[in-house]
């Protein structure tokens, strides 16, 4: 209880002391010279001395701060505007002429500075005034015409060269850094040889992008996926990745080292994938094995799957090597089973080498021997002969 009374006494005494101080010392003229925990009105800005560029519009953020005073409308104005310049006070995107900050609150304002193209280098001081019935403060801002640090981008690749076959996809991870003081939207482009496909995705995302926003001083990971055309020859192919934004650009060269790959295809000489075979007899079909790929294929082995009890042989069984674009003929000898039933069957031929294989389904029409037909005719002939024999034997009169 006694402590409570003591603290109340301290508060009361400090209030008593503060009031005469305030009354004695009017608020300081500028925010930069204000003392902390003070009561009063201030105009605040982070950088009271700034660089602007001729022919461009610059926005300067500032705040009107009210500490412990009763709210009142404060008329805003700017003085010291150089000839030809245009400086507006903006609040919430609109030009404003007065502001009224609540007690212990602030109002965000902007100074929009339109610098004419022909403005000469040099420093100008403009003063922002806030004037109310009881208080008024000023904020001098020094604007220097000069060069603003230009946008700057850098791009780096962790693995600039990848190796693969024409069928693999090449993924390069790139880091783009915005080294300028501005947030930038960076456009992504890639220059690749003809028929190469390039797509950009964000770091670990799957969406295809064409530009990416990067905050000032930040960096972002992007990924470029390059898909070469299937029939491309072996060799090194460079891809130039370019990032650009507002006049700044950076390039990074990545390389695809494509090794050739063989590609098998299997068909017949005339392209017809059907044939005939007689039960129990050999039937020859000429298959053509082609290497449509870009590298030679070694040790191509022929195999086939045929219905049960059928036989299939290849001549030659193995082809030592097929150069790209080369065709080799293989004789497939198919023997239907002795007990096969007439009709259509599927036989599958396969050419396989390391890395690739090709299949061809072959439709074989099995025909049965006509021998039994002849036997049937023979039986009828025998029956007729028997009849004639009886005619000769029993004919009377």
Partner 1 sequence: MPRSAARREGSPFTGIGPVYLKELADNLSSIRMLVLTLFIIVFGAFPVASSLQQLRTVVGSDAFLFLRIFTIEPEQVPIPFVQALNFIIPLMAIGLGFDLVNSEFNRRTLSRVLSQPLYRDALLLGKFLAGITTLAVAMVALWLIVFGAGLLLLGLPPRGVEVARGIGFLVVAVAYGGVWLAIAMFFSVIFRSTATSALCSLGLWLFFFILWPMIAQAITMAFVPAEITSLDQFMGLQQLGLALQRVSPGTLFSEAVLGLLNPETRTLGPMLPSQMRGAIMGAPLPLDQSLLLIWPQVTGLIAGMIVVFTASYVIFQREEVRA
Q: Which is nearer to partner 1, 201 or 367 (CB)?
A: 367
Q: Which is nearer to partner 1, 191 or 348 (CB)?
A: 348
Spatial distance between the Cα atoms of 371 and 396, rounded to a whole number of angstroms: 39
Q: Is 303 a binder of partner 1 (CB under 8 A)?
A: no
Q: What is the secondary structure of 328-357 as a DSSP string? A: EEEEEEEE--TTPPSEEEEEEEEEEETTEE
Cβ-proximal residues to 8 (8 Å cutoff; 6+ apart), any chain = none
Q: Which residues pair with 304 in a beta bridge?
A: 349
Q: Is 334 a binder of partner 1 (CB under 8 A)?
A: no
- The region of 214-222, 265-273, 294-302, 332-340 touching partner 1 under the rule CB under 8 A is 332-340
Q: What is the secondary structure of 301-338 as a DSSP string? A: EEEEE-STT-EEEEESSEEEEE-TT-EEEEEEEEE--T
Spatial distance between the Cα atoms of 240 and 189, rounded to a whole number of angstroms: 8
Smallest distance from partner 1 to CB 305, Å = 8
Binding-site size for partner 1 (CB under 8 A) equals 39
Smallest distance from partner 1 to CB 379, Å = 5
For CA atoms 89, 144, 58, 183, give the dihedral sign. Answer: negative
With CB under 8 A as the contact rule, the residue among 9, 81, 216, 379 that binds partner 1 is: 379
**Counting beta carbons within 10 angstroms of the beta carbon of residue 245, is it exposed (0 to 12), middle (13 to 18) or buried (19 or more)?**
buried
With CB under 8 A as the contact rule, the residue among 142, 150, 341, 354 that binds partner 1 is: 341
With CB under 8 A as the contact rule, the residue among 130, 232, 340, 351 that binds partner 1 is: 340
Q: Which of 173, 176, 278 is nearest to 225 (CA)?
A: 173
With CB under 8 A as the contact rule, the residue among 80, 307, 352, 355 that binds partner 1 is: 307
**Paired sense of beta strands 153-157 and 297-305, if any:** unpaired
Q: Is 24 a binder of partner 1 (CB under 8 A)?
A: no
Residues 160 and 252 sit within 8 Å (Cβ to Cβ): yes
With CB under 8 A as the contact rule, the residue among 100, 229, 342, 354 that binds partner 1 is: 342
Please report, for residues 171, 172, 190, 223, 253, the alpha-carbon distance to residue 159 in angstroms, rounded to integers and kept in the order given: 9, 7, 16, 11, 11
- The region of 2-10, 41-49, 239-247, 341-349 touching partner 1 under the rule CB under 8 A is 341-349
Smallest distance from partner 1 to CB 368, Å = 5
Q: Is 309 a binder of partner 1 (CB under 8 A)?
A: yes
With CB under 8 A as the contact rule, the residue among 224, 226, 306, 334 that binds partner 1 is: 306
Smallest distance from partner 1 to CB 378, Å = 9
Nearest-10 Cα torsion for 175, 179, 185, 189? -50
Smallest distance from partner 1 to CB 363, Å = 7
- The region of 115-123, 199-207, 212-220, 389-397 touching partner 1 under the rule CB under 8 A is 389-397
- The region of 69-77, 78-86, 165-173, 302-310 touching partner 1 under the rule CB under 8 A is 302-310
Q: Which is nearer to partner 1, 115 or 360 (CB)?
A: 360
Spatial distance between the Cα atoms of 15 and 22, rounded to a whole number of angstroms: 11
Q: Which is nearer to partner 1, 137 or 347 (CB)?
A: 347
Q: What is the secondary structure of 182-246 as a DSSP string? A: S-EEEEEEEE-STT-EEEEEETT--SEESEEEE-TT-EEEEEEEEE--TTPPSEEEEEEEEEEET
Spatial distance between the Cα atoms of 383 and 374, rounded to a whole number of angstroms: 14
Q: Is 368 a binder of partner 1 (CB under 8 A)?
A: yes
Q: Which is nearer to partner 1, 195 or 348 (CB)?
A: 348
Tokens 């109340």 map to which residue? 8
With CB under 8 A as the contact rule, the residue among 66, 319, 346, 350 that binds partner 1 is: 346
Interacting residues toward partner 1 by CB under 8 A? 306-310, 337, 339-347, 363, 365, 367-368, 370, 372-373, 376-377, 379-380, 382-384, 386-387, 390-397
């Amino acid at each position: 209880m006694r402590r409570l009374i003591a603290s109340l006494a301290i508060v009361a005494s400090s209030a008593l002391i503060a009031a005469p101080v305030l009354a004695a010392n009017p608020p300081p003229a500028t925010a930069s010279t204000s003392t902390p925990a003070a009561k009063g009105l201030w105009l605040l800005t982070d950088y009271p001395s700034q660089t602007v560029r001729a022919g461009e519009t610059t926005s300067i953020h500032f705040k009107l701060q009210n500490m412990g005073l009763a709210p009142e409308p404060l008329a805003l104005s700017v003085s010291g505007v150089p000839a030809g310049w245009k400086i507006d006070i903006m609040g919430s995107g609109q030009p404003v002429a007065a502001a009224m900050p609540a007690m212990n609150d602030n109002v965000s304002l902007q100074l929009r500075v339109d610098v004419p193209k022909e403005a000469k280098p040099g420093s100008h001081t403009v003063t922002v005034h806030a004037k109310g019935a009881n208080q008024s403060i000023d904020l001098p801002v020094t604007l220097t015409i000069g060069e603003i640090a230009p946008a700057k981008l850098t791009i780096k690749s962790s693995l600039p060269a990848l190796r693969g076959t024409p069928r693999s996809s090449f993924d390069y991870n790139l880091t783009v850094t915005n080294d300028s003081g501005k947030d930038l939207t960076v456009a992504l482009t890639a220059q690749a040889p003809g028929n190469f496909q390039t797509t950009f995705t964000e770091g670990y995302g799957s969406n295809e992008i064409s530009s990416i926003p990067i905050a000032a001083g930040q960096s972002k990971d992007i990924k470029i996926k390059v898909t070469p055309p299937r029939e491309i020859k072996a060799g090194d192919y460079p891809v130039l990745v370019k990032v650009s934004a507002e006049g700044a650009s950076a390039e990074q060269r990545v390389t695809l080292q494509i090794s050739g790959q063989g590609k098998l295809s299997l068909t017949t000489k005339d392209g017809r994938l059907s044939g005939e075979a007689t039960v129990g007899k050999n039937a020859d079909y000429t298959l053509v094995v082609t290497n449509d790929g870009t590298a030679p294929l070694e040790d191509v082995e022929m195999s086939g799957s045929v219905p049960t009890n059928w036989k299939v042989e290849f001549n030659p069984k193995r082809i030592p090597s097929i150069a790209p674009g080369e065709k080799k003929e293989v004789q497939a000898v198919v023997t239907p089973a002795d007990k096969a039933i007439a009709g259509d069957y599927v036989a599958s031929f396969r050419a396989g080498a390391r890395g690739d294989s090709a299949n061809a389904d072959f439709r074989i029409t099995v025909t049965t021997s006509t021998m039994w037909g002849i036997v049937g005719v023979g039986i009828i002939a025998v029956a007729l002969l028997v009849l004639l024999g009886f005619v000769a034997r029993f004919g009377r009169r």
